[in-house]
Amino acid sequence: MRYGSEVQTMGEPANRGRRSSSGGMMMHGVNLKRRFFVSLVLAVPILLLSSPMGLALPITLSFPGSDWLVAALATVLFVYGGWPFLRGAADEVRNRKPAMMTLVALGITTAYVYSMYAFAMGSVAHDGGMHMDFFWELATLIVIMLLGHWIEMRAVMGAGDALKEMAELLPAQAHVKQADGSFADVPLDEVQVGQTVMVEAGEKVPADGEVTDGSSSVNEALVTGEARAVEAHEGDTVFGGSQNGDGTLYVRVTGTGQSGYLAQVMQLVSQAQQEKSRAEVLSDKVARWLFYAAVSVGLVAFVAWLAVTGSVSDALTRMVTVFVIACPHALGLAIPLVAARSTSLGARNGLLVRRRRALEVAPRVNVVMMDKTGTLTEGDFRVAEVRAVGKRSAPAGDASDAPNVPGAPADDRALALIAGLEQSSSHPLAASIVAAAQQRGVQPAAVRDVQAVAGVGVKGVLENGSHALIANARYLDEQRIPYDRSAFDQLAGRGLTVSYLVIDGEVRGVVAQGDQIKPTAREAVRQLKARGIAPVMLTGDNEAAARAVAHTLGIDEFRAGLLPQDKVQLVQQRRDAGDVVMMVGDGINDAPALARADVGVAIGAGTDVAIDSADVVLVKSDPEDIVRLLDLGTNTTRKIKQNLWWGAGYNIVAIPLAAGVLAPVGILLSPAVGAVLMSLSTVIVAVNAMTLKNK
């Protein structure tokens, strides 16, 4: 897996060098770390040489000309440390969505401009005089906000580039047929619709197309998410990015560039990610209201004090005090500390939280849509059943053509023959047969002259000279070889892939292989239903296989035969109906739905594309971790709300008092008391964040 190193300052993902549509500001992790430490170095002398809102501190130092030094350092700090916030505020204002960046920009700009005004007037007084400076507040706000974002950046992993991962699935070149009938390697971006390309054994299919000649088995797992190999013959469709098997295919290109399957999936992912990036986090909503409140109360205070006292200085001081007190010191740490704590707890339990917003949405989830293959099942084929079939002239189960295993049970003798034929093949189905023989302690039979039969299976010669073949039901039908159709229907109805052992033209054995359900999947479904959450299974597999898995797991609703765009539509339909949807998947075909869902969850054993499209990664690929994620989200959201109330509660009380609402009865919040309350609220949210636990 690969993860990027960039995050939005409020924990949401972003691409390098771009700004989100929500106005949030983005920082490169290394730059953010460097900016924080440089700002900290600049802030230390400012804190030592000035005081918070006129409050006299015993450690405050001063000397002739120290005010000039403070003003110079504050200017550098405002420009260097404050620049990301000013830039982020500009984005938010441009999009008409003032939030945390705008609130921070209001505080630091007011503190800097007013302090420089006071300094220029030569009337700076540290004894509660008319023109006090706010350099101390400027330094602490910038440093604390940078620290908060850095903490969150380290806690929340950056977003990888899902689209880049997807593009890398296609080969760089294709073997294109020339006018003289030969084939030449051509860069993929020069391949055109209508051309014929040759796909040799083991190569990736370069583009969508229709098979014109040849036959092979094609592994579309990376593209469709299904482990089942697909037989490709003349007239069949293949997808770009899928893996060719043992045969050579000649494919007439039907889709390249924006018209190809992968390109369409990439477009779906891109659209969904852009939509999700516009979603707000809770802290931004709180910050927006605080911004509106601070500006409104500050302006009203200025007008009221000017009308009552007639003093512009008094009115200006009240307004500036309101703006500065509204600075979200506590809010700057309220969310990042909770994010750091929750992501740390999640990581210890196999939950990699990549986008904080997912934890805020998780408690409201009422529908969990899950891909079948790789999510609820293991995602690889295993032998489910092996049966020996007797000769028409001999008792059923005779299978005496396995000279290497005399006296063994008939089914094991059949497995020995099948494993002997398959042991030299790299096909996934072959590997599972050999593995099954090893687990049962069955020695594969000796077979010579083994050859792959494209689109059919594999053939060879046994020790006694008999000709053996592993074939599918389609081949038996074409060759009119008798077999038990009712048994085939019963096995295929369970979603199993059925192959036959044919010896000298007669069926002598049958092997059924299928994907195995994960041990914890049923319990995960039970717990979801117990919480009132509807589990829905989505799969590109056939109806019979989907129904069998859904029935076993106790899932009432499922959809089969789905393409990526179908999954996206189903997710969007539930969202449009008012549901809050979590999507869990592991394949490229799941990526658009993961990006579109309110919460996208990728299985850790899945593809990089799915992981990069998701908000959370289940590292252990355990379905029960879905429930643990919901618990973590509930506990995290509770702490976030508590901290927001502590942080915003300070502002709710302090802003009106700073404006002088109770001045007529002799109560007026002094800047010094405001500084103490500000520090106290910051300490409270920090302690509260560290008490987060996840049982």
C-beta separation of 146 from 81 below 8 A? yes
Please state, in angstroms and as integers, the Cα–Cα distance from residue 489 to each residue in 372, 377, 494, following that order.
22, 22, 9
Q: Residue 283 contacts by C-beta under 8 Å, 6 or more apart in sequence?
A: 10, 99, 100, 331, 334, 335, 640, 644
Strand ordering across the sheet containing 237-238: 183-187, 173-177, 196-199, 249-255, 208-213, 237-238
* Total residue length of the chain: 695
Place of tokens 């999936």: 265
Q: By C-alpha distance, which of 237, 228, 241, 248 is closest to 428?
A: 228
Q: Can you say whether residue 310 is alpha, beta or left, with left for phi > 0 and alpha for psi between -120 and 50 degrees?
A: left
C-beta separation of 243 from 204 below 8 A? yes
Q: Residue 157 contacts by C-beta under 8 Å, 6 or more apart in sequence?
A: 3, 7, 352, 353, 354
Place of tokens 């013959």: 233
Q: Can you say whether residue 321 is alpha, beta or left, with left for phi > 0 and alpha for psi between -120 and 50 degrees?
A: alpha
Please state, in angstroms and as integers, the Cα–Cα distance from residue 135 to each residue in 43, 113, 164, 230, following that order.
9, 10, 45, 69
Q: By C-alpha distance, which of 12, 590, 190, 526 is closest to 602?
A: 590
515 is catalytic: no
Please state, in angstroms and as integers, the Cα–Cα distance from residue 366 to each residue in 252, 499, 534, following that order.
45, 41, 6
Question: Which residue out of 371, 412, 586, 615 is catalytically annotated?
Answer: 371
C-beta separation of 276 from 595 below 8 A? yes
Tell me the three state secondary structure of residue 609. Answer: helix
Q: Residue 113 contacts by C-beta under 8 Å, 6 or more apart in sequence?
A: none
Please state, in angstroms and as integers, the Cα–Cα distance from residue 100 to each residue in 24, 29, 114, following that order.
8, 19, 21
C-beta separation of 603 from 378 below 8 A? no
* Residues involved in catalysis: 371
